[in-house]
Amino acid sequence: MFYVKFLKYKKYILLFFTILQGALSSKAQWIDWGSPVTRFWSTHNVIALDTNGIVYYACTENQPSSVPKPILKKFDGTSWVSIMFEYDTLNQIEFEEALIDSNNQLNIFYRNDRQILDINNNYLYTVKQYGCKVLKSNGWHDLTGTWLDADTNQFTLHACLDRNNNVYGVITTQNNLIIKRWNGLSWTKYSNNGLPPYRYKLRIAYSEGNTYLALLNTATFSTEVYVYNQNEWIQIGSFNSGNAEVKLLNTPNNKLYLTYKNKCVQLNKTTLQWQDIGPSMENIFGDEYDFRCDEKSNLFVCTSALASQEAKCFYFDGIVWVNIDNRVSENIAGETRLAVYDNQLYVGYNDFILSKAIVRKHDLNLGTAVLKSSDVFAYYSNQSLWIRNNKMEVLNLEILTIEGIRVFTKQISNDLNAIKLENLTNGIYLARIKDIQNSDPLSFKFVKTN
């Protein structure tokens, strides 16, 4: 009897669940992007996203009782497909950076630990080489050849591209520092004049004709920033960072940002002074994080070194750093890396519980600046109205419906104010901000959505 009734109403039941599924999926949230990228624990993770929405992921897969294996894959819409270039399996490949150039091509920067054997195939030593390959329509091509041969010293590499696809790279060894620029034909080596003798955690960036370098001075444990000028590096900033991770980022609108410890600062290129961006980020940045921007120069951070240890992601809304939909990962995560383009945000990490590399995606719905003035800045995001009052007095805020009915009032202090709007129904609202004398009120409209 029950089965007969089920068949009778089957189409209505299926329609109900279809609508329910659509309603649930309409709310942006973190979702797994395909199955895990690796079968085992991953390290040296890098991720990139091209303008066609293709996601690339590279890492070292650490198989039990086996030589670590380099993994380089792209997501074809249904699964992760290997695109690994040919290499000597006796060597160990470790990925350092993945960048998309202005031709929408993947540039992969890697370290090749090449074993040197004697005539009897006995191990002698390891030569560490850095290289870069670019993925073109007809396959992999060596972009620059080998950057450096050396002994067994530990190296680090950081690289960036300019709008003409010239490559800028900085390599640190135990006793040396090599900074180069590749113009498509040959290398140009930078002088080390002006740099401190003890440096670590170097980052390089190119912006509006100038090359910038950020580093940790291990003699003073301070982060220092330099600009290259006439064969010499000129210091333009020093920050009390301790041994914290450092990031240097140039955005598409040619703004230069530095992150360290719990700070994000921006360089004023006219005065060469650094300005704080947003409040302190001590509850956001940990010892391990990634700092990137999208094509519109929006800033994003993902981290896995907070107290909770799950991966989290934030974006800067012009006033504060806003958490994007709580946690990225379900479990403890490590080596989080992010890529973002056209409101599509991808975060890759090693899942400590699953012992696999995971990529998760989020469809962004970033807020909108609704009022900008020298005295008041307002931003609508995530069902909240953020208002920065720069005047030395308390202001009055009132929110009205489009019909003119007052539904909310609040005093705005001389600080950053977060006004939660979840109790308002969806629709168009008018906000007014007035001083005590009600002189020159500021007005703006915003659309409340879930």
Question: DSSP readout, 174-236?
Answer: SS-EEEEEE-SS-EEEPP-TTS-SSEEEEEEEEETTEEEEEEEETTTTEEEEEEE-SSSEEEE
pLDDT of residue 146: 54
pLDDT of residue 301: 92
91 burial level (CB within 10 Å; 0-12, 13-18, 19+): middle
Per-residue pLDDT reduced to its tens digit, 220-274: 889 999 999 999 999 999 998 887 788 999 999 999 999 987 889 999 999 999 9
pLDDT of residue 418: 75
**How far apart are alpha carbons 194 and 229 in whole angstroms?**
10
**In the chain, what's the furthest Cα-to-Cα distance?**
91
| Strands 289-293 and 273-276, bridge-based pairing | unpaired
Candidate from 15-29, 41-55, 193-207 with smallest mean pLDDT: 15-29
Q: How confident is the model at residue 439 (pLDDT cuts 50, 70, 90)?
A: low
**pLDDT higher than threshold 50 for residue 1:** no
From residue 46, how far is each of 89, 277, 338 by CA, in Å? 21, 26, 8
The residues, ordered by sequence, that sit 6+ positions from 165 with a Cβ below 8 Å of its Cβ are 101, 102, 103, 184
Other Cβ atoms within 10 Å of 29 Cβ, number: 13
Which range has highest mean pLDDT (111-120, 144-153, 277-286)? Answer: 111-120
| Comparison of pLDDT for 129 and 209, the residue scoring more | 209
**pLDDT higher than threshold 60 for residue 398:** yes
**How far apart are alpha carbons 413 and 446 in whole angstroms?**
21
Picking from 99, 95, 98, 100, the residue whose alpha carbon sits closest to that of residue 110 is 95
pLDDT of residue 295: 92
Candidate from 17-31, 351-365, 371-385 with smallest mean pLDDT: 17-31
Has this prediction a pTM greater than 0.85? no
The residues, ordered by sequence, that sit 6+ positions from 312 with a Cβ below 8 Å of its Cβ are 284, 302, 303, 304, 306, 323, 324, 326, 327, 328
pLDDT of residue 233: 96
Q: Do domains 30-366 and 370-448 have the same CATH topology?
A: no
For residue 30 the two structure tokens come to: 């973190």
Q: Where along the chain do its domains lie?
A: 30-366, 370-448
Q: How confident is the model at residue 22 (pLDDT cuts 50, 70, 90)?
A: very low
**How far apart are alpha carbons 13 and 6 in whole angstroms?**
8
What does pLDDT average to over the chain? 82
Other Cβ atoms within 10 Å of 201 Cβ, number: 20
Q: Is the Cα torsion angle 105, 109, 113, 116 positive or negative in sign? A: positive
**How far apart are alpha carbons 100 and 313 in whole angstroms?**
21
Picking from 243, 203, 194, 236, the residue whose alpha carbon sits closest to that of residue 222 is 243
| Comparison of pLDDT for 385 and 3, the residue scoring more | 385
**pLDDT higher than threshold 80 for residue 303:** yes
pLDDT of residue 151: 47
Per-residue pLDDT reduced to its tens digit, 57-81: 999 999 887 888 999 999 998 899 9
pLDDT of residue 310: 81
The residues, ordered by sequence, that sit 6+ positions from 430 with a Cβ below 8 Å of its Cβ are 399, 400, 401, 402, 404, 443, 444, 445
Sheet harboring 376-381: ordered strands across?
368-372, 376-381, 384-389, 416-420
Q: What letter represents residue 362's amino acid?
A: H
pLDDT of residue 269: 92
| Comparison of pLDDT for 155 and 66, the residue scoring more | 66
**pLDDT higher than threshold 90 for residue 91:** no
Percentage of the chain exceeding pLDDT 90? 36
Q: For residue 20, what are the β-bridge partners?
A: none
Q: How confident is the model at residue 187 (pLDDT cuts 50, 70, 90)?
A: confident
**pLDDT higher than threshold 90 for residue 132:** no
pLDDT of residue 118: 81
**pLDDT higher than threshold 80 for residue 396:** yes
**How far apart are alpha carbons 368 and 356 in whole angstroms?**
37
Fold topology of 370-448: Immunoglobulin-like (2.60.40)
**pLDDT higher than threshold 80 for residue 195:** yes
**How far apart are alpha carbons 201 and 3 in whole angstroms?**
67
Other Cβ atoms within 10 Å of 203 Cβ, number: 23
CATH number of 30-366: 2.130.10.10
Q: Give, for 7, the enclosing helix (H) or strand (E).
A: helix 2-8
Percentage of the chain exceeding pLDDT 70? 84
pLDDT of residue 360: 94
Q: How confident is the model at residue 24 (pLDDT cuts 50, 70, 90)?
A: very low
CB 324 within 8 A of CB 31: no
Helix, strand, or coil here: 41? strand
| Strands 233-239 and 246-250, bridge-based pairing | unpaired
Angle at the Cα of 167 from the Cα atoms of 273 and 297, rounded to 5 degrees: 50
pLDDT of residue 227: 96
